[in-house]
Structure 1
């Protein structure tokens, strides 16, 4: 079996919400430090689903850029 370009797409495409969510959590302020920690734990330990949940619900709780 040889490696083709779409193998990388199949592996990395589902991880994009996770990477974006981690970046967004670190670069924005939250009402409480515990909220930031909770979102980071969710996104890191439940990678794809946690990132999608953060994009649809947690992004609205962020106050603004640090």
Structure 2
């Protein structure tokens, strides 16, 4: 089997929702720190499915961007 240019792409594309979700959780405020931690744990331990669940169910629970 030979290595093609699209093999790394095929492995990374399903991970994009998880990467985006982690960034969004990290950059936004939630009602409680526990809620934020729960979403992070979900996205990290269920990589593809957790990211998709966060996009559809958890994104609306974020209050706003953290002012740094």
Aligned residue in 1 for 2:2: 2
Give the TM-score normalised by the residue count of structure 2. Answer: 0.94
Aligned residue in 1 for 2:14: 14
Q: Tell me if 1:64 matches 2:54.
A: no
Output aligned runs, 1:15-54, within 5 Å: 15-54=15-54
**Which runs of structure 1 show a deviation greater than 6 angstroms over 4 or more consecutive aligned residues?**
none
Consecutive unaligned residues in structure 2, runs of 5 or more: none
Query: Aligned equivalents of 1:35 and 1:29: distance in 2?
Result: 10
